[in-house]
DNA sequence: AGGCGGTGCTGAATGGAATTCGGTCGTTTC
DNA sequence: GAAACGACCGAATTCCATTCAGCACCGCCT
């Protein structure tokens, strides 16, 4: 991907509502050129969408946790993501290397709600769970860095 | 927080660029009333900001990992988040309960870049690391559920 | 060399949205 | 019961998104 597109992506990652006018100013292009590029980035799937960043405490979901899951029957087909998709408390599902097969990130209202959720997870996907409760979140959703091309180098000088 | 605000937050979490006109239609309020509420939600910090959701593969950061860190010297002051903040590959930092003290979510370009990053993390925060590599991500950034007030009930009927 | 198609840009036009403002209504408070 | 407050609406204005026609550049083919 090219320099200007990278810059646009970085800017939008930082502020998803930035206007095309501002993007044009930042990139030195005309408004319509930027518009064209953003549309293309969206169509290509580089920009997947836009979201408001919410304070989960403020909306009644103050408890965040990571739940690692492991199938109880290793021979069974592994369709945990689909089996768990209906649980809206699950914000993300990552397949991972290591002892466990998936790591889920969940948001719930209370310890009781977490307990309920864990039961639902175990029942829905036939897995055992290991839960790591988040105590606080110093930062999250940090946008990708300003833009830095890897710079192919033959010598070892940085 | 109130019903309509909750609904607005949900809608914006799902589509951060939704127009006030559409929000007004969805909530049954006038455009200016919605505008007023959104501004207030932003000011209160319920809506912290807006971000484009980026395909990290497409921008050259195809490798995601969770890095759990543990201080080497448990007596030293715990300022790992600040010590690590300059590493832009770190997307999130959560303080967690359990054996380790923080879980970091990182995005890098390659296994080599991950190796470099881990060294920098260890050196910057004087910690040991345990890394879980993400193989794939069935879903991520799922917006919070449509809105459901806990509904205090005396009877046991759901 | 000349012509062709594709790509990416610009600037102008228009339609729609964001933002502001004045005014109304209902509720709370003294 | 009147003032103060909070939330709403509708209209006016400004700004932005989106589209379009036209231009420049490049690679390619003949």
Q: With an 8 Å Cβ cutoff, are A52 and B138 in contact?
A: no
pLDDT category of residue B119 using cuts at 50, 70 and 90: very high
- For residues B141 and A114, what is the distance between their CA atoms, to the nearest angstrom? 19
Question: Does B82 reside within a domain?
Answer: yes
Instruction: Tell me, yes or no, whether A67 and A114 share the same domain.
Output: yes
- For residues B7 and B149, what is the distance between their CA atoms, to the nearest angstrom? 11
Q: With an 8 Å Cβ cutoff, are B15 and A50 in contact?
A: yes
- Which CATH number do you get for residue B98? 3.30.70.920
pLDDT category of residue B1 using cuts at 50, 70 and 90: low
Q: Which residue has the higher pLDDT, B2 or B87?
A: B87
Question: Does A27 reside within a domain?
Answer: yes
Looking at residue A3, its pLDDT comes to 87
Enter the tokens of residue A64. 């965040």
Instruction: Tell me, yes or no, whether A39 and A67 share the same domain.
Output: no
Q: What is the pTM of this model?
A: 0.89
Looking at residue A156, its pLDDT comes to 41
Cβ pair B103, B68 in contact under 8 A: yes
Distances (CA, A) of A45 to A1, A65, B45, B56, B116: 13, 29, 29, 10, 29
Distances (CA, A) of A67 to A27, A28, A132, B88, B154: 41, 45, 6, 25, 31
Which H or E run includes B91?
A: strand B90-96
Looking at residue B15, its pLDDT comes to 96
Question: Does B48 reside within a domain?
Answer: no
Model pLDDT for residues B6-50, shown as the tens digit of each residue: 999 999 999 999 999 999 999 999 999 999 999 999 999 999 999
Q: What string of DSSP letters covers A83-132? A: HHTT-TTEEEEEEESSSSSEEEEEEESSHHHHHHHHHHHHHHHTEEEEEE
Instruction: Tell me, yes or no, whether A71 and A110 share the same domain.
Output: yes
Instruction: Tell me, yes or no, whether A36 and A70 share the same domain.
Output: no
Instruction: Tell me, yes or no, whether A129 and A78 share the same domain.
Output: yes
Looking at residue B157, its pLDDT comes to 42
Closest alpha carbon to C1' of D15, residue: A21
β-bridge pairing A90-96 and B90-96: unpaired
Q: With an 8 Å Cβ cutoff, are A48 and B51 in contact?
A: no
pLDDT category of residue B96 using cuts at 50, 70 and 90: very high
Distance A9 CA to D24 C1' (A): 27
Question: Does A149 reside within a domain?
Answer: no
Cβ pair B110, A27 in contact under 8 A: no
Task: Work out how many domains chain B is built from and give that number.
Answer: 2
Distances (CA, A) of A88 to A55, A106, A120, A157: 17, 9, 11, 49
Question: Does A92 reside within a domain?
Answer: yes
Distances (CA, A) of B13 to A25, B22, B106, B116: 27, 14, 23, 34
Q: Which residue has the higher pLDDT, B151 or B65?
A: B65
Instruction: Tell me, yes or no, whether B81 and B39 share the same domain.
Output: no
Looking at residue A36, its pLDDT comes to 96
Looking at residue A152, its pLDDT comes to 46
Range of the domain at B96: 63-133
Q: With an 8 Å Cβ cutoff, are A103 and B132 in contact?
A: yes
Per cent of chain B over pLDDT 70 is 91
Instruction: Tell me, yes or no, whether B19 and B79 share the same domain.
Output: no
Which H or E run includes A39?
A: helix A31-44
Q: Which ranges of chain A have pLDDT less than 70?
A: 1, 146-158
Question: Does A145 reside within a domain?
Answer: no
Instruction: Tell me, yes or no, whether A80 and A34 share the same domain.
Output: no
A21 touches strand D (CB under 7 A): yes
φ/ψ region of A147 (left if φ > 0, alpha if ψ in -120 to 50, else beta) reads: left
Looking at every residue in chain B, the average pLDDT score rounds to 92
Cβ pair B42, B27 in contact under 8 A: no
Distance B37 CA to D11 C1' (A): 20
Question: Does B95 reside within a domain?
Answer: yes
Question: Does A33 reside within a domain?
Answer: yes
pLDDT category of residue B153 using cuts at 50, 70 and 90: very low
Mutating which of B38, B48, B51 best tests the A interface, going by the most A Cβ atoms within 10 A? B51
Q: Which residue has the higher pLDDT, B141 or A144?
A: B141
Enter the tokens of residue B41. 């939600």
- Which CATH number do you get for residue A24? 1.10.10.10
Nucleotide nearest to B34 (CA to C1'): D8
Chain D bases having any atom below 7 Å from a protein CB = 7-11, 15-21
- Find the DSSP H helices in B15-66: 20-27, 31-44
Instruction: Tell me, yes or no, whether B37 and B72 share the same domain.
Output: no
Instruction: Tell me, yes or no, whether B16 and B68 share the same domain.
Output: no
- For residues A87 and B142, what is the distance between their CA atoms, to the nearest angstrom? 11
């Amino acid at each position: 991907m090219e320099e200007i597109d990278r810059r646009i992506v970085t800017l939008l990652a930082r502020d998803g509502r930035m206007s095309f006018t501002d993007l044009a100013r930042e990139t030195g292009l005309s408004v319509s050129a930027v518009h064209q590029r953003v549309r293309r980035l969206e169509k290509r799937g580089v920009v997947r969408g836009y979201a408001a960043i919410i304070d989960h405490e403020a909306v009644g979901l103050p408890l965040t946790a990571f739940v690692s899951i492991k199938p109880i029957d290793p021979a069974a087909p592994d369709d945990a993501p689909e089996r768990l998709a209906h649980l809206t408390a699950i914000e993300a599902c990552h397949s991972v290397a290591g002892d466990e097969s998936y790591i889920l990130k969940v948001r719930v209202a209370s310890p009781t709600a977490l307990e309920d959720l864990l039961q639902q997870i175990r029942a829905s996907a036939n897995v055992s769970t290991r839960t790591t409760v988040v105590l606080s979140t110093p930062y999250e959703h940090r946008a990708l860095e300003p833009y830095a091309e890897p710079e192919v180098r033959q010598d070892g000088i940085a």
